[in-house]
Structure 1
Amino acid sequence: MVIFPIIIVVSIVLYIYYKVAILKTKDRLEQAYFNARSRICLGAFIIAFALNQYVFYQTRISLFIGIIFLLFGGLHFSRGWKEVGHYKKEWKRLNQF
């Protein structure tokens, strides 16, 4: 399966990109938005890593560890998704013309 390593690399690169973008901006709302986007990328990374490890090894211990990683990755992904929606609404509310 070549798709999981591609997702892993892309998500970790985007995670680093968004973390650097936080340092470049001074607006607190934009910083929170970029932090939420980085949380989504971190969740995608953890999920893809868990699935890749189970597909690669296919043992019982990798299944249990993969389930734990899937839970943590899913929590990061869902919280980031909710935060991105919230901060988009706030940005639109504050920047109406």
Structure 2
Amino acid sequence: MVIFPIIITISLVLWVYYKVAILRSNDKLTQAYFNAKSRICLGSFVFFFAINQYIFYETKLSLFIGIILLILGAMQLNLGFKETRHYRNEWKRLNPDS
């Protein structure tokens, strides 16, 4: 399964990208929006890492750890999507001409 390492690598690179973009931005709304995007990337990293590790090892211990990581990753993804939607709508509300 080559797809999971590709997704893991892309999500990790995007997480670093958004974290650096937060440092480069001065606008608090933009920083919050990028932080929400980075939360999505972190959640997808943890989620797919858990799946990949269970497929690789297939033990009971990796199953239990994988379930915990799946739950944590799904929670990060869910919160990231909600925050992204909120901050995107807030930005559109404050900048109606853009």
- TM superposition score normalised by structure 2: 0.98
Note if 1:20 corresponds to 2:28.
no
CA distance in structure 1 between the partners assigned to 2:33 and 2:63 by the alignment: 33
Which residue number in structure 2 is paired with residue 8 of structure 1? 8
CA distance in structure 2 between the partners assigned to 1:7 and 1:56 by the alignment: 15
- Report the RMSD for the aligned CA atoms in angstroms: 0.5
Structure 2, unaligned runs of 5 or more: none
Structure 1, unaligned runs of 5 or more: none
Note if 1:67 corresponds to 2:67.
yes
CA distance in structure 1 between the partners assigned to 2:39 and 2:27 by the alignment: 18
Residues paired across the two proteins, number: 97
- Equivalent AA in structure 1 for residue 16 of structure 2: I
Q: Percent identity?
A: 63
- Equivalent AA in structure 2 for residue 92 of structure 1: K
Deviation at 1:96, TM superposition (A): 1.0
- TM superposition score normalised by structure 1: 0.99
